[in-house]
A and B are shown apart, each in its own frame.
Chain A
Amino acid sequence: MKILTETDSKYKEIELHVCNNALTDEVRAVVGELHEIYDYSIPGTDGAGNKRIIRRAEILSAYSEGQRVIVLTIDGRYTVQKKLYELENDLGEANFIRISKSEIVNIHKIKSLDLSITGTIKLVMKTGYETYVSRRNVAKIKEKLTKERLEGRA
Chain B
Amino acid sequence: MKEVLKRGFMSFALSSFAGLLVNLIIDVVMNTSFTTGFTSMSPDYVALFPSVTIAAYVNILLYGVIGATFALSAYIYEIEKIGFIIQSIIYFIITSSVCVGITILLWQLHKYPSAFISTLAGYLATHIIMIVIEYRKLKADIKVINELSSDKEQS
Contact = CB atoms under 8 A, between A and B. Distances in A.
A28 interface: no
Interface of B: 77-78, 80-88, 131, 134-135, 138-139, 141-142, 144-146, 148-153
B145 A113 contact: yes
Contacts of B145: 110, 112-113, 138, 141-142, 145
Given A132-B81, A135-B84, 8 more contacts: A112-B146, A117-B83, A120-B82, A134-B77, A134-B78, A139-B141, A142-B144, A149-B148
A113 B144 CA distance: 10
Contact of A116 (B83, B134, B149): B83
A115 B145 CA distance: 12
19 contacts: A112-B145, A112-B146, A112-B150, A114-B142, A115-B142, A117-B85, A118-B82, A120-B82, A126-B153, A132-B80, A133-B80, A138-B138, A139-B141, A145-B144, A145-B148, A145-B149, A145-B152, A146-B148, A149-B151
Contact of B87 (A114, A119, A142): A119
Nearest to A146: B148
B149 A111 contact: yes
Interface in A75-109: 100-101, 108
Contact of A113 (B77, B78, B135, B142): B142
A116 B80 CA distance: 12
Interface of A: 100-101, 108, 110-121, 126, 132-135, 138-139, 141-142, 145-146, 149
Given A111-B153, A145-B145, A119 B80 contact: no
A119 B153 contact: no
Given A119-B87, A133-B80, A112 B149 contact: yes
Nearest to B82: A120
Nearest to B151: A149
B151 to A, nearest CB: 8
B83 A101 contact: no
A134 B149 contact: no
Nearest to A110: B149
B80 A121 contact: yes
Contacts of A116: 83
A146 B82 CA distance: 27
Closest 9 pairs between A and B when the two form their complex, measured CB to CB: A118-B83, A119-B83, A119-B84, A132-B80, A120-B83, A119-B85, A145-B148, A113-B142, A134-B80
B84 to A, nearest CB: 4
A152 to B, nearest CB: 9
B116 to A, nearest CB: 29
Contacts of A118: 82-83, 85-86
Given A110-B149, A145-B148, A138 B83 contact: no
A115 B80 contact: no
